[in-house]
Amino acid sequence: MSDVKLDRFCSYILPRTHHYIKKLILDTTSMERILLVGDYPNLTSLELFNFEQKIGFHYFTDDRPFRHIFKHQITDLILHNNDEYDDKTLMDIYTKNVYAHIMIFFQNLKDDLINLKCFSLTNYNYIYDYDDLVVPLLRRMTHLEKLTLYLRISKTGLFIGDASPFIDGIHLHNEILVHIPQLHTFKYYISTETCTDYSNLRISNRDIQQTFTNIIKYGQTACIMDYYGASGTICHVYSLPFTFTHLYKITTHFPFIVFDTVTHLSVYDIVPFKHEFFMRINQAFPLLKCFTVKNARMQYWNSNDNLSDPIIEFTHLISLEIIHAGMYYLEQFLVKTNTLLPRLTRLKVNYNDLKTVTINFTREETRHNCSKVKQLIVEDSIIFSKYVYQYFPSL
């Protein structure tokens, strides 16, 4: 449609007819202008040509003036995609960033979800609107046969009576799985983190485990309950065997099993981590590549403390982050008589702690684990001295 025809269409025709329109077929270049003409109370079907990722990020958000049409009225959506993908990996990322966002934002879509047989949702960041977004989405997939979920859920507020603050087997069965009668394969990792101390409820691993009785047909499950005192509680539930690559906020209470698919791990606790803890980590996560250590409790160290302990070698570790933790943990990882990191290429640390542990970049015992680091990340913008570059020759 030429600009002249579009002007006439928007100025004379649409203002008189938008109340009656049930379906629009639009090019994305003219979509906003046309949708702003009226409120389209009967519009339920939308077909867009030349759709691109940037269109979704720009228009399918809560701050657009016609968001109510997208979120609540559209039941049929057809996208003629104009983006290009280089390989399967990029396509997988695109699916997570674009299509998953669309299915959540358009709350009343139908047809394709009814016919969907397999669905996987992975989100490594916190989800704050799980009950309003994820649960309604899954309930619409009534013919689903295979479901994979990786979710980190953050909840606030107090829970009264029998209501559980955590996602457990009873919740999964009653709120989701009973709505998907043809489901035969269910793989999941779900953590629920609260900012309220629920230690007074005395919920144990066994209590959580018993809630999975009704969904035992999908296989074995396991759980980890952790209490952080006044700072909150976290409950991990997951199917076995564990098949995911990421785990976050694991504490000293993690179980004695091997997580042989995990490559990205973060550990957190309010009690100090000892050398034995990192030995267990090395044994339980044999393919670990990226490791983040956070600890709210200061640990005092002495260079002679671990002389009798065996050296830990993280064979595959390429990235190490020690920001919200004390110098002890830098001592633990950088001193070669404690730990060997033959493939470490990325190090994120507190600069002053690094200076102290390396004795202002002169200490021989820490030089070995720093020799292959290509990316040194510190909390502030710092111009490194020549001594830093001499100590990290691969920078």
Same domain, 239 and 330: no
Structure tokens at 42: 């009967």
178 in a structural domain: yes
Could you tell me which of 281, 265, 262 has the C-alpha nearest to residue 273? 281
162 in a structural domain: yes
Same domain, 392 and 348: yes
364 in a structural domain: yes
Same domain, 174 and 280: no
- Rounded to two decimals, the pTM is 0.73
Distances from the Cα of 198 to the Cαs of 110, 159, 253, 268, in angstroms? 39, 10, 17, 18
8 in a structural domain: yes
pLDDT at res. 86: 54
Same domain, 203 and 287: no
333 in a structural domain: yes
103 in a structural domain: no
106 in a structural domain: no
Amino acid at 108: N
Please state, in angstroms and rounded to a whole number, the distance separating the CA atoms of residues 366 and 355. Answer: 11
Query: Is the separation of the CB atoms in 235 and 192 below 8 Å?
Result: yes
Please state, in angstroms and rounded to a whole number, the distance separating the CA atoms of residues 77 and 44. Answer: 9
Q: Is 47 helix (H, G, I), strand (E, B) or coil?
A: strand
Query: Is the separation of the CB atoms in 47 and 25 below 8 Å?
Result: yes
End-of-domain residue from the set 98, 124, 139: 98
The residues, any chain, with a CB within 8 Å of residue 231's CB and separated by 6 or more, are: 195, 197, 270, 296
172 in a structural domain: yes
Same domain, 211 and 253: no
What phi and psi, each to the nearest 5 degrees, are found at residue 259?
-100, 80
pLDDT at res. 151: 94
Query: Is the separation of the CB atoms in 47 and 22 below 8 Å?
Result: no
Same domain, 347 and 389: yes
Please state, in angstroms and rounded to a whole number, the distance separating the CA atoms of residues 265 and 244. Answer: 11
Same domain, 249 and 237: no
Q: Is 285 helix (H, G, I), strand (E, B) or coil?
A: coil
Please state, in angstroms and rounded to a whole number, the distance separating the CA atoms of residues 298 and 60. Answer: 45
Q: Work out how many domains the chain is built from and give that number.
A: 3
Same domain, 271 and 210: no
Could you tell me which of 104, 388, 252 has the C-alpha nearest to residue 95? 104
Same domain, 394 and 290: yes
Angle (CA) 243-245-248 rounded to 5° is 115
End-of-domain residue from the set 193, 216, 243: 243
Please state, in angstroms and rounded to a whole number, the distance separating the CA atoms of residues 108 and 393. Answer: 57
Residue 391's domain comprises 245-395
Structure tokens at 94: 């695109």
Q: 241 preceded by cis ω (within 30°)?
A: yes
pLDDT at res. 89: 46
Same domain, 283 and 384: yes
Q: Is 306 helix (H, G, I), strand (E, B) or coil?
A: coil
Same domain, 239 and 164: yes
End-of-domain residue from the set 243, 275, 293: 243
Written as tens digits, the pLDDT of the chain (395 aa) is 556 667 776 777 777 887 888 898 888 888 888 888 888 889 899 888 888 888 877 888 777 788 888 888 988 888 887 776 555 446 566 766 777 778 778 888 778 667 788 888 888 888 888 888 889 889 988 999 999 999 999 887 655 555 668 899 999 999 999 999 999 999 999 999 987 666 566 678 888 899 999 888 999 999 998 877 666 788 999 999 999 999 999 988 888 889 999 999 999 888 888 899 999 999 999 999 999 999 866 655 554 555 678 999 999 999 999 988 888 899 999 999 999 999 999 999 999 999 999 999 999 999 999 999 999 999 877 889 999 999 999 99
Same domain, 81 and 124: no
